[in-house]
Amino acid sequence: MINPTVELVKKSWNKLQLRDAEGKSYTLYTTTDKSDDLSLTALPPVPPANMFDVRFASNRFAANLSSGAERVQMSGVVFPVTVSSEGSNVIVKANGKSMLLTNGSQISLTDNSIAEFSVEAENSLPVKFDVAQNFPNPFNPSTTIKFSVPKAANVKISVYNSMGELVSELVNASFEAGSYSVKWDAARSASGLYFYRMEAGDFISVNKMLLLK
């Protein structure tokens, strides 16, 4: 692969280097500065599938993570593939797993079925367990509940009526670190005050919501 010229890369950009088992490597770059112009970071067309190639899905060697995750596509690589970061911490997500890649460290991708992974700025991950007020509220007949998970954990979210009786179990599963949402369809429930409870390890939070029909 052709390496980008130094003139196109800012010193403030984070280096994301990928190296495969045969020693082939390529460096991608990330930034979170919305003012950075990436128009000159485009790469030539993707080569044949058996040739080593690493690039962002935008067909660039640089990506701006200020608006969220960006996908990295790989072809012709020999696993395991190591990914290292130089400059800042990023989150790498592959096959449903989130991994924190700190400045100066590296992680290894061993599953040869991985053709791409995503990378995002570290500050995009929640720093604590949290469950937001449902929206809309009052609602009819459905509402959405957003919740945050700062680390891998089993999350349970249940709905109770004003008598304390269980009405619905919306979530009871393991989640990786991230922000999520779940919808409650109350079409078969009566109008009234309800409570939703989130449990994740030692974290417990209860909120009220109002169904009006």
Burial 110-138 (b: 16+ CB within 10 A, else e): eeeeeeebbbbbbebbbeebbbeebeeee
Q: Is the pLDDT of residue 3 over 80?
A: no
What pLDDT digit, counting tens, does each position of 171-208 carry? 999 987 777 889 999 999 999 999 999 999 999 999 99
Domains of the chain listed by start with CATH number: 6-124 (no CATH), 130-211 (2.60.40.1930)
**CA 67 to CA 203: how far, in whole Å?**
29
Cβ-proximal residues to 172 (8 Å cutoff; 6+ apart), any chain: 154, 155, 156, 157
What pLDDT digit, counting tens, does each position of 80-137 carry? 999 999 998 898 988 878 788 888 899 999 999 999 999 998 776 677 899 999 999 9
Average pLDDT of every residue of the chain: 91
pTM of the model: 0.59
Q: What is the dihedral of CA 31, 34, 37, 39, to 10 degrees?
A: 90
What pLDDT digit, counting tens, does each position of 6-28 carry? 567 888 899 999 999 999 999 99
Tokens representing 23 are 């020693």
